[in-house]
Chains A and B, each alone.
Chain A
Amino acid sequence: MLPTPAHHSATPLIKIENLCKSYSLQDANGKTITNQVLFNINLTIHQGEFVAIMGHSGSGKSTLMNILGCLDTPTSGAYWLTEKNVATLSSDELARIRNRNIGFVFQGFNLLKRMTALDNVAVPLLYAGISRANSRKQALELLRRTGLENFAMHQPNQLSGGQQQRVAISRALVNQPPLILADEPTGNLDSQTSREIMSLFEQLNRDQGITIVLVTHEDDIAAYAKRLIRLKDGHVIYDKNNAIETTSNQSASVHAIHDHPQSNTD
């Protein structure tokens, strides 16, 4: 990798250029149908941002999230995550990035069943090669911070939705990633619990500078984010700072002309 440029703020955490994604399907007659989901997406997200991605179902927001999370690969275009071109990485390297650099929070919590909250939080540490005892120690510390200390030995089905989501957030945080990707994290929660979870995200963003990218279709949830991106039929149709409507924050076009320190030898 080339040396990092001097101005840290100028180095985007996420940089997407002309990204397209299409799926090929076979119809009943055996003919291949290509279904394009994302069209030439250009996006730059800096360290410390809190971004909400909104759109109707079928707008491509989940596909974009999967690509951002290195769970799926783009059909064409480039995606740099912390200066690494994700498209060129092997599956092992992608697993490593998902483990160290990204924390996932899902709508359905996606905790491992029949495993205590403590062990659930500890799993990413185990995959990072940390011993079981140390993993548990660190996992307990995180549960303490999210206020679930007393539920450490509970299994997911013994916890409420809000508690499960907080366990999931603890799990996402345990390897101290710079980026958290949350896919409709409040979709299965009531409004009171949703507010609690969102304040937790807000706090993580404010106090620890963790970049948060959130997918939602609820306006009041998106209101917690500082920047709002709207997708429609696979295109970015809106990208503005939430608080200050007036500034010309056309991130997508502005950042697109930035030099990026990427080389293919990475």
Chain B
Amino acid sequence: MNLFSILGEALRALRQNRLRAGLTMLGMIIGVAAVVLMLSIGQGAQTQINQTIASMGSNLFIVVPGATSAGGFSFGSGSVKTLTINDAYAIAELPSISATAPVTSGTAQLNYAAKNWSTIITGTTPNYFEVGSWKIESGTIFTDSDLRSATRVVVLGSVTAKNLFNDEDPVGKTIRITNRPFLVVGVLMAKGQSLTGRDQDDNVFIPITTSERQITGNQFPGSIRHMLVQGKSAEDMDIAELEITQLLRQRHRISGTKENDFTVRNLTAIADIATGAAKVMSFVLGAIASVSLLVGGIGIMNIMLVSVTERTREIGIRMAIGANQRAILIQFLLEALMICIMGGLIGLVIGIGGAWLVSQMADMLIVITLGMIGLAFLFASAVGIFFGFYPAKKAASLKPVDALRYE
């Protein structure tokens, strides 16, 4: 008997017991839908983290001052003003470093026409935009000559621009920052949340020199809040960290065993941890969902065993008219497999629909890949073969005479 004919027989058997086949299928539907949903949520979270990491800029260190202690009393990071603009310039000269960007920041009130908005003012150098992977939406960033002459120019983050200007084009307009007029030279492209959940787009950027002299003021001239340092290559991040530490210890005259008055953080390492956590999460979600698939499989086995017993006489008749063991085995195996594949297909559609719904309602990123669909399908088929095999084997190994005599 060719496979096509057996397939027809299996379909006929399923049609004869629609309700039972449907209920058994439900187990597979729920299992596959849950797996697809969970995988897509997990994958979405992973993708979101990867995007955030990519938006952070690559091979990035952040150097913050502090971690000093006085008389056994420890101050937190950034509590002292030991890091300076010149430190940043010196680090930029290191062989393993491609660029640095010193940062000062404070909050200030912005005004444009009748609107006002309070946000973070970041004073930095033009390098900042490249190091931090910022892209310009319109206009330009400020230049080195703006930095040298401390001109009143400002680059707006997209959220800030939206709040002050709505749909108006901010480039070329003048806004007031703590009542001083600043020319808007550019608006940045949106970047979204940072790894810590802060909105990176509600921000304005001005030359660090302008900030220090005109906005935040500074009782420690040249000191900065932190600096971004970009290493030349991902492989040499350890060497770069060592070079930064050595140079800063030397510049800050820290000798021997004395503790650093600064901290170097490798952001890539932090990102790796976040990615790892997301991977574990999607694995755990998938594993939990797989349990329902397993339960569905046991349901299939149960029903197939009942079906084999019920149809013992049919099996006997088929054997009497020429079915060999293989034909009977395949017939029952195909029935189980068909329940799984049909259930898998319906579950797939429901899972994708559910994922879409989740993405709409919870504003989460959902990723559905072909690999995931394939995996769910493969898993469903494997369940069908695994749990369908025992009942099918039982049917096939019946003795024809006993099966025929069965009432």
Whether A98 pairs with B321 at a CB distance below 8 angstroms is yes
Q: Which of A73-116 contact B (CB under 8 A)?
A: 91-92, 95-96, 98-100, 104, 110-115
Whether A175 pairs with B322 at a CB distance below 8 angstroms is yes
A-side contacts of B399, CB under 8 Å: 72
Can you name the residue of chain A whose Cβ is closest to the Cβ of B320?
A104
A-B contact pairs, 24 of them (CB 8 A): A71-B319, A72-B399, A72-B401, A91-B324, A95-B324, A95-B327, A96-B322, A96-B324, A98-B320, A104-B320, A110-B313, A112-B317, A114-B16, A115-B12, A123-B318, A126-B5, A127-B1, A127-B318, A127-B322, A127-B324, A129-B2, A132-B4, A132-B5, A175-B322
Min CB distance A131 to B, Å, is 7
Q: Does B252 contact A (CB under 8 A)?
A: no
Whether B324 pairs with A69 at a CB distance below 8 angstroms is no
B-side contacts of A111, CB under 8 Å: 317
Partner of B314, one of A66, A113, A135: A113
Partner of B321, one of A72, A91, A99, A135: A99
A-side contacts of B5, CB under 8 Å: 126, 131-132, 135
Min CB distance B314 to A, Å, is 6
Partner of A104, one of B2, B4, B12, B321: B321
A-side contacts of B318, CB under 8 Å: 112, 123, 127
A-side contacts of B320, CB under 8 Å: 69, 71, 98, 104, 110
Q: With the chains together, A115 CA to B143 CA distance in Å?
A: 85
Q: When each residue 310-339 of chain B gets 1 if its CB lies under 8 Å from chain A and 0 otherwise, what string results?
A: 000110011111111111000000000000
Q: Does A162 contact B (CB under 8 A)?
A: no
Whether A123 pairs with B401 at a CB distance below 8 angstroms is no
List 18 extra interface pairs beyond A104-B320, A126-B5, CB under 8 A.
A72-B401, A91-B325, A92-B325, A95-B323, A104-B321, A110-B317, A110-B320, A111-B317, A112-B318, A113-B314, A114-B12, A115-B12, A123-B318, A124-B321, A127-B1, A127-B327, A128-B1, A128-B322
Residue numbers of B with Cβ under 8 A of A are 1-2, 4-5, 8, 12, 16, 313-314, 317-327, 399-401, 404
Q: With the chains together, A98 CA to B8 CA distance in Å?
A: 23
Q: A104-B320, A115-B12 are in contact. Are A95 and B1 (CB under 8 A)?
A: no
B-side contacts of A171, CB under 8 Å: 321
Partner of A100, one of B322, B327, B404: B322
A-side contacts of B325, CB under 8 Å: 91-92, 95
Min CB distance B213 to A, Å, is 90
Residue numbers of A with Cβ under 8 A of B are 66, 69-72, 91-92, 95-96, 98-100, 104, 110-115, 123-124, 126-129, 131-132, 135, 171, 175
Can you name the residue of chain B whose Cβ is closest to the Cβ of A174?
B321
B-side contacts of A72, CB under 8 Å: 399-401
Whether B322 pairs with A66 at a CB distance below 8 angstroms is no
Question: Which 4 A-B pairs give the minimum distances between C-beta atoms?
Answer: A99-B322, A95-B324, A127-B322, A72-B401
Whether A112 pairs with B327 at a CB distance below 8 angstroms is no
B-side contacts of A91, CB under 8 Å: 324-325
Q: With the chains together, A68 CA to B354 CA distance in Å?
A: 60
Min CB distance A128 to B, Å, is 7
A-side contacts of B313, CB under 8 Å: 110
Can you name the residue of chain A whose Cβ is closest to the Cβ of B396?
A91
Whether B16 pairs with A127 at a CB distance below 8 angstroms is no
Whether A92 pairs with B326 at a CB distance below 8 angstroms is yes
Min CB distance A171 to B, Å, is 7
B-side contacts of A92, CB under 8 Å: 324-326
Whether B317 pairs with A71 at a CB distance below 8 angstroms is no
Q: With the chains together, A175 CA to B322 CA distance in Å?
A: 10
Q: With the chains together, A126 CA to B314 CA distance in Å?
A: 16
Q: With the chains together, A129 CA to B4 CA distance in Å?
A: 11
B-side contacts of A71, CB under 8 Å: 319-320, 400-401, 404
Min CB distance A124 to B, Å, is 5
Partner of B322, one of A95, A110, A132: A95
Q: With the chains together, A241 CA to B207 CA distance in Å?
A: 122
B-side contacts of A66, CB under 8 Å: 401
Q: A112-B314, A129-B2, A131-B2 are in contact. Are A123 and B321 (CB under 8 A)?
A: yes
Min CB distance B307 to A, Å, is 14
Please indicate which of the listed interface residues B313, B324, B326 has the most CB atoms of chain A within 10 Å of its own CB. B324
Q: A110-B317, A126-B1 are in contact. Are A98 and B322 (CB under 8 A)?
A: yes
A-side contacts of B326, CB under 8 Å: 92
Can you name the residue of chain B whose Cβ is closest to the Cβ of A72?
B401
A-side contacts of B1, CB under 8 Å: 126-129
Min CB distance A2 to B, Å, is 26
Min CB distance B308 to A, Å, is 16
A-side contacts of B317, CB under 8 Å: 110-112
Q: A98-B319, A123-B318 are in contact. Are A132 and B324 (CB under 8 A)?
A: no
Whether A127 pairs with B4 at a CB distance below 8 angstroms is no
B-side contacts of A127, CB under 8 Å: 1, 318, 321-324, 327
B-side contacts of A100, CB under 8 Å: 322
Please indicate which of the listed interface residues A96, A110, A131 has the most CB atoms of chain B within 10 Å of its own CB. A110
A-side contacts of B323, CB under 8 Å: 95, 99, 127
Q: With the chains together, A128 CA to B401 CA distance in Å?
A: 21
Min CB distance B385 to A, Å, is 22
Q: With the chains together, A91 CA to B401 CA distance in Å?
A: 13
B-side contacts of A175, CB under 8 Å: 322
Can you name the residue of chain A whose Cβ is closest to the Cβ of B15?
A114
Q: With the chains together, A265 CA to B400 CA distance in Å?
A: 25
B-side contacts of A110, CB under 8 Å: 313, 317, 320, 404
Min CB distance A72 to B, Å, is 4
Q: With the chains together, A72 CA to B400 CA distance in Å?
A: 7
Q: With the chains together, A123 CA to B319 CA distance in Å?
A: 11
Please indicate which of the listed interface residues B12, B313, B401 has the most CB atoms of chain A within 10 Å of its own CB. B401
Can you name the residue of chain A whose Cβ is closest to the Cβ of B403?
A71
Q: With the chains together, A147 CA to B109 CA distance in Å?
A: 100
Min CB distance B393 to A, Å, is 13
Min CB distance A183 to B, Å, is 10
Q: With the chains together, A99 CA to B16 CA distance in Å?
A: 26
A-side contacts of B321, CB under 8 Å: 98-99, 104, 123-124, 127, 171
